[in-house]
Amino acid sequence: MKKYFFVILSMIISLSAIAQTPKKISYQAVIRDASHKLVKERDVGVKTNILKQITIDSFYSFYCETHNVKTNKNGLLTIAIGVGDVVSGNMQDINWGQGKYFVKVETDPEGGSDYTIEGTSQLLAVPYALYAQDVANKDDADANPSNELQTLSFDNATGELKISDGNTVTIPAGSGGDNWGSQTVKSDNTLTGEGTSAKPLKVDMTKVKPTWSNIQGIPSGFADNKDDVNDADNDPNNEKQTLSFNNATGALTISNGNTVTIPAGSGGDNWGSQTVKSDNTLSGEGTSSKPLKVDITKVKPTWSNIQSIPSDFADNKDDVNDADHDPANEIQTLSLTGQTLTITNGNSVTLPTGGGGKATKVWA
């Protein structure tokens, strides 16, 4: 049976500013096998228990839940205790300020609920953050989280700003903004629109013509305002060059330039000097003088591989109704005697005169 071990990395209390958000403890552990090798990217089953110590040897389970998670490439699993599938209890009901609490973690490295790894650790400073949250919430005689909330209101006519259950101040006239919604923006012809929802302000690209000195990021070749082209003849074609290659010498030459020799064997796979390997269904060598082709005498497809078999043969029958199965008894012969043409097992006809003689000739 495989043995597995786990190492607790961290447990972090996660609190929220909203009282209704569930409390949770972030838990991480590294899973290793009996050879101390990391159990990487595997689905594992995890069961957690929050235990309160009653006596030295006895504990009470306040809360229990399960998780199904996957370890990462470093064998690390991460869960949030408090948001798993609840088995029993309610984590919200735990009074962290009374007694000692422990977390018991059981793990099934095979991803099920046959938990073979077990470990229990005391929660020391961690739960006191949760306890501190409870203390902050309870330092209020009425324990009402909403009755301290206040609202602001503003009277446009008088300029009075009021806070509920508090005081009122008067905002001086003209300090409340530019009243944008009731006016249109003034601009020159480089912009169009009025700055309103119906007519938003935008740049008129036909009017925006920046000067050269205002263009950002000019390439260094143009920064001196010169094109740096030394070409006195203004001929767009006389700088064009052509390449030529000498197969015999391997010399590659560019007109009005130099010549280099291409090393032998670097020009591809030299197909023209070798033959292709094939079985006896093909003939030829794959060269210009002996092109590769199918050897029809060797290609013998099976009946099942033949495409587009006529419908009369598709059922593998010839559909001939011939009870005697004799391939010769339907054969007939012709004979000519004088002007009379006769077919065996049939009739005779008289041919027109004009020759024929007395001889008898038989066609089979």
More confident residue, 183 or 235: 235
d(CA 315, CA 342): 40
- In this predicted structure, the answer to whether residue 325 has a pLDDT above a threshold of 90 is no
More confident residue, 346 or 312: 346
Q: How confident is the model at residue 97 (pLDDT cuts 50, 70, 90)?
A: confident
**Residue with the two structure tokens 């290793």:** 32
Strands 202-203 and 191-192, by their bridges, are antiparallel
* Ranges 132-136, 175-179, 275-279, 310-314: which has the least confidence: 175-179
Q: Which of 53, 199, 211 is nearest to 122 (CA)?
A: 53
d(CA 277, CA 297): 19
- In this predicted structure, the answer to whether residue 28 has a pLDDT above a threshold of 80 is yes
* Ranges 104-113, 163-172, 305-314, 320-329: which has the least confidence: 320-329
d(CA 13, CA 103): 13
Name 326's Cβ contacts closer than 8 Å, sequence gap at least 6: none
Mean pLDDT for 116-123 is 84
Give the other-Cβ count within 10 Å of 130's Cβ: 23
Q: Distances in Å between the alpha carbon of 60 and those of 7, 64, 204?
A: 24, 11, 75
User: In the chain, what are the domains?
Assistant: 4-138 (2.60.40.10)
* Ranges 101-105, 153-157, 237-241, 352-356: which has the least confidence: 352-356
Which of the given ranges, 13-17, 164-168, 330-334, has the highest pLDDT on average?
A: 164-168
- In this predicted structure, the answer to whether residue 99 has a pLDDT above a threshold of 50 is yes
4 near 32, Cβ under 8 Å?
A: yes
Q: Residue 59 is encoded by which pair of tokens?
A: 């504990």
* Ranges 49-53, 154-158, 234-238, 291-295: which has the least confidence: 234-238
Q: What integer pLDDT is reported at residue 20 of this predicted model?
A: 42
* Ranges 148-157, 158-167, 216-225, 286-295: which has the least confidence: 216-225
What is the chain's length? 364
Q: What integer pLDDT is reported at residue 250 of this predicted model?
A: 81
Q: What integer pLDDT is reported at residue 270 of this predicted model?
A: 55
Element (H, E) at 135: helix 126-138
Q: How confident is the model at residue 17 (pLDDT cuts 50, 70, 90)?
A: very low
The answer to whether the predicted template modeling score (pTM) of the entire model surpasses 0.75 is no
Write down the mean pLDDT value for the chain.
Answer: 76
Q: Which of 102, 74, 75 is nearest to 5 (CA)?
A: 75
d(CA 190, CA 124): 68
Mean pLDDT for 168-177 is 69
pLDDT tens digits for range 251-299: 888 888 889 888 775 444 555 566 677 787 888 877 878 888 887 777 7
Q: Residue 203 is encoded by which pair of tokens?
A: 């740049």
End-to-end CA distance of the chain, in Å?
89
| C-alpha of 91 from chain center | 39
